[in-house]
Amino acid sequence: MKTKMRRTWLLAGLVLGSCQVELDNFFGKQNPGTYPNVDEALRPYFQRFEAEAAARGLTVDLADAYITGYISDIPENQVIGQCSYSSNDPHRVTIDKPFWNQASDLEREFVVFHELGHCYLARVHDESMDARGICLSIMRSGTGACRDVYNAASRSGLIQELFTEKD
């Protein structure tokens, strides 16, 4: 009886253990820096986000956080990116396909970093601006009065602000 019970527990352990390995492989834990369930075109921007965090002494692991990313049509007008939450897909970044197809590298980075700011960093919108009306945060909503100036000169400061914890 004890031998039969041990075999049953051993079999259950193997089945459960193999499911964990498959789940880990599914989410990329076996291969750091990979992002399963993220469109291939978004992966370099996920890598940049992690690298920018690391350059500031922060550890960010988007695969471990199970953040997914897709490029698809967003039906709402004037919406080019979304971070959505659901029980099936708890941290889903979606970038609007028409925007993506015409955007520059920096425009793509800006929107992906903004959405990862919501999905990973739990940042809310920040409408702060300087005296000239220029947005002081990547996390601006797009409905406020500030103007985006995200270029090679402003990039570093805006990314620093993104990764700076707010009170």
* Average pLDDT, integer, range 21-44: 67
- For residue 91, the cross-strand partners are 67
> What tokens appear for 149 in the block?
């100036």
Q: What's 70-88 look like in SS3?
A: EEECCCCCCCCEEEECCCC
* pLDDT, tens digit, 9 for 90 and up, residues 126-160: 999 999 999 999 999 988 889 999 999 999 999 99
Cβ 134 vs Cβ 151: under 8 Å: no
- Based on its alpha-carbon atoms, the radius of gyration of the chain, rounded to whole angstroms, reads 20
Tens of pLDDT, residues 89-121? 789 999 999 999 999 999 999 999 999 999 999
Read off the pLDDT band of 26 (50, 70, 90).
very low
Q: Which of 132, 35, 158 is nearest to 93 (CA)?
A: 35
pTM of this structure = 0.80
Contacts of 100 (CB under 8 A, 6+ apart): 41, 71, 108
What number is the average pLDDT over the span 32-43? Answer: 86
The confidence band for 85, taking pLDDT boundaries of 50, 70 and 90, is confident
